[in-house]
Amino acid sequence: MSLFAKKPLHQLLAQAEDSEKGLKRTLGAGNLVALGIGAIIGAGLFVRTAAAAGQAAGPGVTLSFIVAAVGCAFAGLCYAEFAAMIPIAGSAYAYSYTTMGELIAWIIGWALIMEYALGAATVSIAWSEYLNKLFGGAIPYEWSHSPFESFTDSSGVHHSGIMNAPALVILLLLTLLLIRGTQESAMVNMIIVIIKVGIVILFIALGWQFINPANHTPYLIPEGTAPVVDQAGKVIADYSGWNKHGLGGVLGGAAIVFFAFIGFDAVSTAAQEAKNPKRDMPIGILGSLVVCTILYILFGHVLTGVANWKDFVDPEKGREASVAYAISQYMTGYGWLAQAVTVAILAGFSSVILVMLMGQSRIFYTMSNDGLIPKAFGELHPKYKTPYKANWILFIFVGLFAAFVPGHVAGDLTSFGTLFAFVLVSAGVWILRVKQPDIERPFRTPIYPVVSALGVLICTAMIIGLDSQTLKVAFAWMAVGLVVYFVYSRHHSKLKNFNEILPHASDFEQKK
């Protein structure tokens, strides 16, 4: 079988229509928009905004959000076309399978693990940080950080992490909720979304009056800015790289805050559970993206105006809990808001983890049905009709990362996986328009092929903007994925068996 053998489109559509054996269709347009917002607004906004400002963009982090949003908009339009046309769980993996073939589909499926699984791990780590902030640092550093993290406090005492226990707890609770059912999870997510969006708007409205214009001058980090070191003499921020200052810093910041936009594509993983996917999927994907982009730009402007971007360089000062820090240090009389924000952020992070875990389990479900990973990933609970075994396996995998890997490492890898998926989905729309122009498309990407091309170019540019260490680890992960494919997946592929039984199936599909 060719490495680039494609899954016939009529098979995907037939699978999407088989509601008796598959996932339940319980989600409406409102649920899908809330699902997207639930996944988008979380660690990316409350943690990565400060990280991007302190490490690369300065106050220009608002421009970084715009760059990232533009790339997401182009990719989002392409996702909307695919999700309406092929309403099946699996997202970019399923789309690539029918446009670019099995090998490419496997590569993107493997990369999506970096997006959803590591995304869930990253946010659970941020959840742990904010929980500790709420409790006034009562959780020992050793039990709330990975063994690869350490710091020396103001008393000269050195602390090294052992494991991040709170992150494991929240992952377990949300895994149990997901196993219970999609509709129940969506209801919990909707409640959380209302709370956290309200808090974001409240911070923007109240914080606007505390903006200090001097904090926005200069707007970009100047070239030649000296490195920042901690009390032990360790460099914690170096601005010598091309993507760490000036306009290059805006692109570097975009690669960092891009994590904040992960979520709208997670809506596409729920396509097989949407009541009317042809109408509701574009609304869910694009609606959630528009709402969050507006909030992000306003949020970044207020945060870097209330507090100076240099406050976000040191994790011990403002980076790990940037919003609460800015409120407590600079917004006199609003100490109560810092506590309210922390509680709301904890709830918000929970919804992000929930959607990330759901998205990854649905991708596993689809890959299992195709034979590329063991069938246990595709087994549904006899009562709840959820992929419960995939949820438990995912809990173990994500839990290991959350407990033992630093959050910034997992977060940057998540951005790589997402950007890679966006590149292939944007290219996939172009390919399918050329090869199968007559397929019914309930939603069509406008200004084709310009939108597809720009989606590929901008997302590729943001991949290049990631730091070299992240790229090395990401490509190593992809190499491991290729080994797994050639050792296991290629030999167990159901498409291989299908083509062996019906060698002219692809010709039949083309004629059809």
At 24-68, the pLDDT tens digits run 667 777 888 887 887 777 656 777 788 888 888 889 999 999 988
Locus of tokens 């899908």 = 32
Give residue 480's pLDDT: 94
Give residue 512's pLDDT: 41
| pLDDT at residue 417 is higher than 70 | yes
pLDDT digits (tens, 9 = 90+) for 355-403: 888 888 888 888 898 899 998 888 888 887 788 898 999 999 999 988 8
Q: What is the mean pLDDT of residues 202-219?
A: 93
- Which of 37-41, 207-211, 261-265, 393-397 has the weakest average pLDDT? 261-265
| pLDDT at residue 98 is higher than 60 | yes
Residue 275 CA to residue 165 CA, distance in Å, equals: 38
Closest CA to 90 of 355, 280, 362, 282: 362
Closest CA to 252 of 119, 392, 58: 58
- DSSP letters spanning 128-141: HHHHHHHTTT-S-G
Taking residue 48's Cβ as centre, other Cβ atoms within 10 Å add up to 29
Q: How many domains does the chain have?
A: 1
Chain mean pLDDT for the chain: 82
| pLDDT at residue 87 is higher than 60 | yes
* Residue 482 placed within a domain: no
Residue 154 CA to residue 167 CA, distance in Å, equals: 26
Q: What is the DSSP letter of 27?
A: B
- State the sign of the Cα–Cα–Cα–Cα dihedral 47, 50, 55, 59: positive
Give residue 501's pLDDT: 39
pLDDT digits (tens, 9 = 90+) for 433-457: 998 888 888 888 888 889 999 989 9
Return the H-helix or E-strand segment holding 96: helix 91-99
pLDDT digits (tens, 9 = 90+) for 159-186: 788 899 999 999 999 999 888 876 677 7
Using DSSP's 3-state secondary structure scheme, residue 273 falls into helix
Burial of 97 (0-12, 13-18, 19+ CB in 10 A): buried
Q: What is the mean pLDDT of residues 263-280?
A: 75
- CA of 59: how far to CAs of 44, 216, 229, 412, in Å? 16, 6, 21, 21
* Residue 34 placed within a domain: yes
Cis upstream peptide for 277 (omega within 30°): no
Q: Which two tokens stand for residue 162?
A: 């052992």
Largest CA-CA distance found in the chain, in angstroms, rounded: 75
For the chain, the straight-line distance linking the first and the last C-alpha, in angstroms and rounded, comes to: 22
Residue 414 CA to residue 352 CA, distance in Å, equals: 13
pLDDT digits (tens, 9 = 90+) for 475-503: 998 999 999 999 999 989 888 665 543 44
| pLDDT at residue 353 is higher than 80 | yes
* Residue 394 placed within a domain: yes
Cis upstream peptide for 449 (omega within 30°): yes
Q: What is the DSSP letter of 90?
A: T
Question: What is the percent of the chain where pLDDT is above 90?
Answer: 16
In one-letter notation, the amino acid at residue 359 is G
Q: What is the CATH number of the domain that holds 54?
A: 1.20.1740.10
Burial of 365 (0-12, 13-18, 19+ CB in 10 A): buried
> Any residues with CB less than 8 A from the CB of 269 and at least 6 apart, and which?
89, 90, 91, 116, 358, 359, 362, 363
Q: Which domain covers residue 58, as residue numbers?
A: 25-461
Residue 367 CA to residue 387 CA, distance in Å, equals: 12
* Residue 476 placed within a domain: no
Among the ranges 6-10, 129-133, 215-219, 503-507, which has the highest mean pLDDT value? 215-219
* Residue 15 placed within a domain: no
List alpha helices for 8-48, DSSP H: 9-17, 29-40, 43
Residue 88 CA to residue 266 CA, distance in Å, equals: 12
Q: What is the mean pLDDT of residues 64-76?
A: 87
Return the H-helix or E-strand segment holding 236: strand 235-237
- Residues β-bridged to residue 152: 158
Give residue 206's pLDDT: 92
Residue 179 CA to residue 394 CA, distance in Å, equals: 12
Q: Give residue 505's pLDDT band: very low, low, confident or very high (50, 70, 90).
A: very low
Distance of CA 173 to the CA centre of its chain: 20
Q: What is the DSSP letter of 405?
A: S
* Residue 19 placed within a domain: no
In one-letter notation, the amino acid at residue 2 is S
Is the pTM value of this prediction over 0.85?
Answer: no
R_g (Cα) of the chain, nearest Å: 22
- Residues β-bridged to residue 237: 228
Residue 249 CA to residue 199 CA, distance in Å, equals: 29
Locus of tokens 């291989």 = 496
* Residue 489 placed within a domain: no
Q: Which two tokens stand for residue 174?
A: 């949300």
* Residue 475 placed within a domain: no
Among the ranges 9-18, 318-327, 331-340, which has the highest mean pLDDT value? 331-340
Using DSSP's 3-state secondary structure scheme, residue 370 falls into coil
pLDDT digits (tens, 9 = 90+) for 215-256: 999 999 988 888 877 666 777 778 888 888 888 989 888 888
Residue 134 CA to residue 111 CA, distance in Å, equals: 34
Locus of tokens 């200052």 = 245
Residue 465 CA to residue 375 CA, distance in Å, equals: 38
